[in-house]
């Protein structure tokens, strides 16, 4: 007994010293954004593992001509670096401005992978990240050729039916939609923020997005590819609305399939409800209303009929949500796919109100927003939080700000306050990102991306006011810093987007990637990223107790750190779109 408690006492200490040895052993590495840097932006490589300043050179490829020389600056010791527990230095080569391909070499230490500098370096990354949605399509055969010719599957999940928990019986012809993630479920709540984010990307950056073809089956029609792709999911979402306006939470199999191709998952795909009246949920219905309200605006120039149908669906959903202010969802007995259970649906209703106000200018929606806004603002003010599937309050506030000729003072200060805090971190912290140790949750890479989106949206809101235009802050630069982290400037020196950069991760928890017999994974997928809690039971691939940024493994089984998901990819698409020229 005494020994046992002694051992238990020692375990954490042992783990810690083991970690420290491991941390100390990091070979010097030069972590860069493996895609590159925009011409006018700050350009910093993060050097890990140097204990004193060193000389570095920037060489232009292919010849190796030395175009810049500088000295690294120490930023943190392992003790000071709360994110990765490493020696962190910066090599700042912002002065390099000619378009080209380069490497950064640190004397006696290491050399980076090659990267580009130029005015439009993120175009391919944007295309692959967005095209990955095509690779998530349900209900049709998918073929990622010509660039990725063997990546294909046949039409899947064509049969739909009502589950007992929906209060209905019989078939439900529900096709289309995107598979949520590495699994084949389709979930309205997660589709909500995903589809809303993508539609916003279009509203913000449509002019630049338009110029980038996605090579999808609809590429030859008159509608921009980006909107064709989103429509695939909107059409499915429409089928999830009940006659009374409420929207069912999800359509999945009762449990997750094995690692098989989608067409080999032959369990019935069922519409799942809350298990008792009213069967639909408020979070799903609120998200749906918000998304359809945006869709009504976005598709108006291309498809009047659909635009009107989307608005009617949104208004009906809104009315249902107003009558059922907080019907929450938990998996009914026998169902073990993702829950996306959110205990508080007020932010979803607010987002719906704000988007409907923006689309229709009808006073009742503005009034509904104003009624709930004090609570929302209290939640949103310091510390600022990135939007996430259960937390769409930011979208509500921003929609309100963007929907008026001049944003209200409150919305403005919320957006600016949050961004100033994030931006300050981007400027000052050793890793130049706006991530706190607490931000390393399941899907932390989407926190980085959504914080970047926060900065980009605030940038737009700021520039819409006269005072804001005069402000010298460049929130776009802050957003780019978080993007650099995702594209390789992290402790692993790994790009967290498949087929993007040089040293990109190889083993997403993604069923088609695991089951297709091809070595390399599907393109354009963002890894969920480090998760400070080792939540990947029972396989337990994640280490214990390392600093948060190191809690990631490139292993298929690590679903809690290395899955892909549509909401995470959507935030990435938004940020990449914001960086297009």
Residues that bind Zn ion (CB under 5 A): 138, 156-157, 184, 262
CA distance 383 to 410: 16
Q: Is residue 156 a contact partner of residue 139, using CB atoms and an 8 Å limit? A: yes
Question: Using CB distances below 5 to 8 A depending on partner kind, what does residue 90 bind out of ligand 9MR, Zn ion, none?
Answer: none
Closest distance to ligand 9MR from the beta carbon of 20 (Å) = 29
Q: In the bound complex, what is the minimum distance in angstroms from residue 535's beta carbon to ligand 9MR?
A: 7
Token duo for residue 155: 């039409």
Helix (H) or strand (E) holding 296: helix 282-298
- Helix H or strand E segment including 207: helix 188-209
Distances from the Cα of 497 to the Cα of 244, 333, 407, 441, 491, angstroms: 41, 36, 35, 18, 15
Work out what residue 286 binds among Zn ion, ligand 9MR, none; the CB cut-off runs from 5 to 8 Å by kind: none
| CA nearest neighbour of 459 among 408, 404, 410, 398 | 398
Minimum CB–partner distance for residue 333 and ligand 9MR (Å): 18
148 binding partner (options Zn ion, ligand 9MR, none; Cβ < 5 to 8 Å by kind)? none
- 254's tokens: 């009762």
Cβ closest to ligand 9MR, residue 42 vs residue 191: 191
Rounded distance between C-alpha atoms, residue 457 and residue 395, angstroms: 10
Which does residue 338 bind out of ligand 9MR, Zn ion, none, counting CB within 5 to 8 angstroms by kind? ligand 9MR
Q: Smallest distance from the beta carbon of 186 to Zn ion, in angstroms? A: 8
Beta carbon of residue 509, minimum distance to Zn ion (angstroms, whole number): 17
> Measured between alpha carbons, how far is 492 from 552 in angstroms, rounded to an integer?
9
Torsion sign, CA atoms 247, 251, 256, 259: negative
Q: How far apart are CA 450 and CA 452, in angstroms?
A: 5
User: At CB < 8 A and 24+ separation, what contacts does 160-164 make?
Assistant: 160/239, 160/251, 160/268, 160/269, 160/270, 160/271, 161/268, 161/269, 161/270, 161/271, 162/270, 162/271, 163/254, 163/270, 163/271, 163/272, 163/273, 163/332, 163/335, 164/332
Other beta carbons within 10 Å of 390: 17
Q: Nearest Cα to 437, choosing from 527, 541, 551? A: 551
Residue 90's φ and ψ, nearest 5 degrees, are -110, 140
In terms of CB distance, is 491 or 526 closer to ligand 9MR? 526
Nearest-approach distance from CB 446 to ligand 9MR, in angstroms: 8
Residues that bind ligand 9MR (CB under 6 A): 180-181, 183, 185, 338-340, 442-443, 563, 565
Binding partner of 347, given Zn ion, ligand 9MR, none, CB within 5-8 angstroms per partner class: none
Q: Which residue is nearest to ligand 9MR (CB)?
A: 338
Instruction: At 2, list the tokens.
Output: 């005494």
Q: Which is nearer to ligand 9MR, 257 or 426 (CB)?
A: 257
Residue closest to Zn ion when measured from CB atoms = 138
- Rounded Cα distance between 452 and 568, Å, is 12
What is the secondary structure of 6-21 as a DSSP string? HHHHHHHHHHHHHHHH
Least distance (Å) between residue 527 CB and ligand 9MR: 11
Of the pair 45, 565, the CB lying nearest ligand 9MR is at 565
572 binds, options ligand 9MR, Zn ion, none, Cβ within 5 to 8 A by partner type:
none
Cβ-based nearer residue to ligand 9MR, 426 or 556: 556
Q: How far is the CB of 256 from ligand 9MR (least distance, A)?
A: 8
Between CA 440 and CA 536 the distance in angstroms is 14
Minimum Å gap between C-beta 181 and ligand 9MR is 3
Identify what 183 binds: Zn ion, ligand 9MR, none; CB under 5 to 8 Å per kind: ligand 9MR
Give the nearer residue to Zn ion in terms of CB position, either 224 or 262.
262
Choose from ligand 9MR, Zn ion, none: what does 138 bind? Cβ within 5-8 Å by kind.
Zn ion
Q: Where are the alpha helices (DSSP H) in 361-474?
A: 363-380, 393-402, 409-428, 444-463, 466-470
Nearer to ligand 9MR, 180 or 411 (CB): 180
CB of 501 to ligand 9MR, least distance (A): 23
Q: Which is nearer to Zn ion, 49 or 512 (CB)?
A: 512
User: Cβ closer to ligand 9MR: 87 or 342?
Assistant: 342
Q: Which is nearer to ligand 9MR, 186 or 460 (CB)?
A: 186
Question: Considering CB distances under 5 to 8 angstroms, the limit depending on partner class, which of Zn ion, ligand 9MR, none binds residue 443?
Answer: ligand 9MR
User: CB under 5 to 8 A by kind: which of Zn ion, ligand 9MR, none does 563 bind?
Assistant: ligand 9MR
Shortest approach of ligand 9MR to residue 568 CB, angstroms? 8
Q: Which CB atom, from 56 or from 351, has the smaller least distance to ligand 9MR?
A: 351
For 31-47, give the DSSP string. Answer: E--SSEEETTS--EEEE
């Amino acid at each position: 007994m005494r020994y046992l408690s002694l051992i238990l006492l020692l375990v954490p200490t042992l783990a810690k010293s083991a970690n420290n040895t491991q941390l100390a052993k990091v070979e010097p590495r030069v972590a860069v954004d493996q895609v590159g840097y925009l011409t006018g932006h700050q350009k910093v490589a993060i050097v890990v593992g140097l204990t004193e300043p060193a000389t570095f050179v920037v060489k232009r490829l292919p010849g190796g001509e030395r175009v810049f020389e500088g000295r690294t600056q120490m930023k943190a010791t392992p003790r000071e670096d709360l994110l990765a527990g490493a020696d962190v230095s910066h090599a700042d080569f912002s002065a390099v401005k000619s378009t080209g391909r380069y490497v950064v070499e640190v004397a006696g230490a290491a050399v980076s992978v090659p990267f580009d500098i130029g005015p439009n370096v993120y175009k391919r990354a944007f295309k692959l990240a967005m095209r990955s949605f095509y690779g998530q399509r349900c209900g049709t055969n998918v073929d990622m050729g010509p660039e990725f010719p063997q990546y294909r599957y046949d039409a899947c999940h064509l049969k739909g039916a009502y589950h007992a928990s929906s209060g209905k019986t019989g078939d439900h012809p529900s096709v289309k939609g995107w598979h949520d993630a590495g699994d084949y479920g389709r979930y309205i709540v997660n589709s909500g923020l995903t589809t809303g984010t993508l539609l916003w990307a279009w509203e913000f950056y449509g002019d630049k997005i338009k110029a980038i073809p996605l090579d999808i089956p609809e590429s030859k029609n008159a509608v921009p590819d980006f909107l064709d792709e989103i429509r695939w999911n909107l059409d499915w979402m429409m089928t999830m609305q009940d006659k009374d306006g409420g929207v069912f939470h999800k359509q999945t199999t009762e449990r997750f399939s094995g690692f098989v191709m989608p067409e080999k998952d032959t369990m019935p795909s069922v519409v799942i409800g809350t298990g008792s009246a009213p069967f639909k949920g408020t979070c799903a219905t609120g998200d749906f209303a918000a998304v359809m309200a945006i869709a009504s605006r976005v598709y108006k120039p291309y498809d009047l009929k659909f635009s009107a149908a989307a608005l009617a669906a949104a208004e009906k959903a809104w009315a249902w949500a107003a009558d059922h202010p907080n019907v929450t969802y938990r998996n009914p007995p026998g169902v073990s796919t993702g829950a996306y259970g959110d205990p508080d649906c007020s932010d979803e209703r607010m987002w719906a109100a704000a988007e409907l106000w923006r689309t229709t200018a009808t006073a009742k929606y503005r009034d509904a927003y104003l009624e709930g806004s004090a609570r929302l603002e209290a939640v949103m003010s310091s510390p600022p939080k990135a939007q996430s599937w259960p937390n769409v309050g930011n979208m509500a506030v921003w929609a309100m700000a963007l929907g008026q000729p001049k944003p209200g003072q409150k919305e403005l200060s919320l957006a600016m306050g949050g961004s100033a805090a994030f931006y300050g971190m981007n400027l000052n912290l050793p890793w130049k990102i706006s991530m706190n140790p607490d931000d390393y949750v399941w899907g932390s890479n989407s926190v980085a991306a959504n914080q970047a989106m926060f900065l980009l949206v605030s940038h737009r809101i700021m520039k819409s006011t006269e005072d804001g235009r005069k402000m010298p802050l460049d929130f776009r630069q802050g957003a780019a810093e978080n993007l650099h982290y995702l594209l390789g400037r992290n402790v692993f020196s790994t790009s967290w987007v498949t087929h993007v950069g040089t040293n990109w991760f190889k083993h997403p928890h993604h069923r088609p990637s695991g089951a297709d017999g091809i070595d390399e994974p599907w393109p354009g997928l963002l890894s969920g990223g480090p998760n400070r809690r080792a939540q990947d039971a029972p396989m337990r691939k994640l280490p214990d107790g390392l600093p948060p940024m190191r809690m990631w493994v490139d292993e298929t089984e690590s679903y809690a750190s290395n899955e892909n998901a549509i909401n995470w990819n959507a935030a990435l698409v938004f940020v990449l779109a914001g960086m297009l020229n």
